[in-house]
Amino acid sequence: MTQGYAQNFKKRISVLVFLKNSVAPLVLYFENPYDEYNNLLELCRAQNAVGKIVEKETVGPIKKVAFMSNQISAVALQEEPVVS
């Protein structure tokens, strides 16, 4: 019988932003992902013909991102295991 390696797994939460006419979602990491998710969800629900620019600073590989609020088609939260 083999023994498994003792690894500590932590969970990292990312916010996925799906944009219209885009195949892959934006994967964004924030200090407070649940707050950012709720903010983006409100923008998604209040779709207007004239959008406004949404600019976010993140803590992941993408440091700053901007997109139009009327281009958001969906928002999601994703848990990712991280080995520490």
Indicate the domain borders of the chain: 9-83
Give the containing element (helix H, strand E) for 66: strand 64-68
pTM, rounded to two decimals: 0.83
- pLDDT range class, residue 78, cuts 50, 70, 90: very high
Which of 78, 83, 70, 81 shows the shortest CA–CA distance to 34?
78
Q: Which residues contact 67 (CB under 8 A, 6 or more apart)?
A: 17, 19, 26, 53, 54
Q: What is the pLDDT of residue 38?
A: 96
Which of 31, 70, 40, 77 shows the shortest CA–CA distance to 52?
70
- Whether 13 contacts 83, CB under 8 Å: no
Q: What is the pLDDT of residues 37-52, one digit of tens each?
A: 999 999 888 877 778 8
